[in-house]
Amino acid sequence: MSYRIKEMSWLQFNKRRKETSSVIIPIGSVEVYGPHLPLGTDCIVAEAIADRVAEKFDALISPMIEINDASALQAFPGTFNVARENFYGPLENLFKSLIDYGFKNFLFLSGHGASVDMTSHLCRKYQKQYDIKCGQIDWWRFAAANSDGILDYKGPMAHGHASECGTSVMLYLRPDLVDMSKAELVAPLAEVYEIFTDVIRYIPFEEKTNNGTIGDARAGSAEKGKMLVEKCVDRIVSYMEYEFK
C-alpha cells in the first residue's frame, strides 16, 4: 500500500484522510551532489525516509516540493534555483490545502537546509492560527546528530556535502544511482571550517570545492547507510508517537 497522496485516486485519498490526522511533507532540491551522486539526492532521500516513517506511523505523504532555493550552488551545472518568495508561496499553498483537508499533525521532512527557516515561519504562523501541531526534520543535520557509532568521520569530513553520510544513505536507498568510481575526498578547507567558526560567513560554495563534494565520499557504504536510516526513522517515529497523540 502506498502512503503517497499523489499515487492515490481521489476516492482513496478521501477515505484515507478520514482515517489519519497526520501528514508528512517532503521537501527536496535539485542541485550538485558531487560527481558520484544524482542531482536529485535531496528529493530521493526525503521521499524515501517519508515512505518508511509513514508506514510505521500510518501517516500520509503529501506531494513533494522539488525545486528550492539553491542559489549558493548555482556555479555548478544541473543546479536549479527558485527565488525564496517563489518557493514560499507554493509551500504555503500546499500547507493550507492539507489543513483544509482536515489534517492536524504536520511533519515537514526537509532534505535541503535552505528551506528550513521558511518552513519554520509557516509552522509558527499556522500552528497558532489553526490549532494544529507541526514538527520539522532538517534531514542532513538530523542524520549528523544521530550518526555516532556509525560513521568513520565526524564533522565536515562525514557531513560536509555528498561525503560519507550522504553517500552511505544513497548507497543504501538507491545504489543504482551512485557511481563510486567517481567518489572522491575533498578535504574541508581550514579557512572555512576552522577560522571564525562563531561567525556566520558567506563563502561561495565553489570556493569550498571544485566538484561539489566536501569531505570523504569514498568512506560511504550501504551498511552504514542502512544503520543510519533505520536509526533515524525510528527516532522520527518516536517523536511522532510522542508529539502527535
Cα-based torsion angle of the residue sequence 89, 30, 4, 53 in order, rounded to the nearest 10 degrees? -100
The whole-angstrom separation of Cα 165 and Cα 106 is 26
The whole-angstrom separation of Cα 17 and Cα 36 is 39
Strand 215-216, strand 185-186: pairing: antiparallel
The whole-angstrom separation of Cα 21 and Cα 104 is 5
Per the document, the length of the chain is 245
The whole-angstrom separation of Cα 184 and Cα 171 is 15
CB 73 within 8 A of CB 31: yes
**Short-list 87, 161, 82, CA closest to 119:** 87
The whole-angstrom separation of Cα 70 and Cα 211 is 16
- Which residues are CB-contacts of 10 (< 8 A; sequence separation ≥ 6)? none
Looking up cell 547507510 gives 225
Q: What is the pLDDT of residue 76?
A: 96
Distances (CA, A) of 72 to 143, 191, 203: 22, 18, 9
Please provide the distance, in angstroms rounded to a whole number, between the alpha carbons at the two ends of the chain: 24
**Mind listing the pLDDT tens digit of every residue in the chain (245 residues)?**
799 999 999 999 999 999 999 999 999 999 999 999 999 999 999 999 999 999 999 999 999 999 999 999 999 999 999 999 999 999 999 999 999 999 999 999 999 999 999 999 999 999 989 999 999 999 999 999 999 999 999 999 999 999 999 999 999 999 999 999 999 999 998 888 888 989 998 989 999 999 999 999 999 999 999 999 999 999 999 999 999 98
Q: What is the pLDDT of residue 197?
A: 87
Cα 165 from chain centre: 13
Q: Which domains does the chain have, with CATH numbers?
A: 5-243 (3.40.50.10310)
- 101's grid cell: 483537508
CB 60 within 8 A of CB 17: yes
Question: Helix (H, G, I), strand (E, B), or coil: what is residue 12?
Answer: helix
CB 152 within 8 A of CB 158: yes
Question: Helix (H, G, I), strand (E, B), or coil: what is residue 81?
Answer: strand
Q: What is the pTM of this model?
A: 0.96
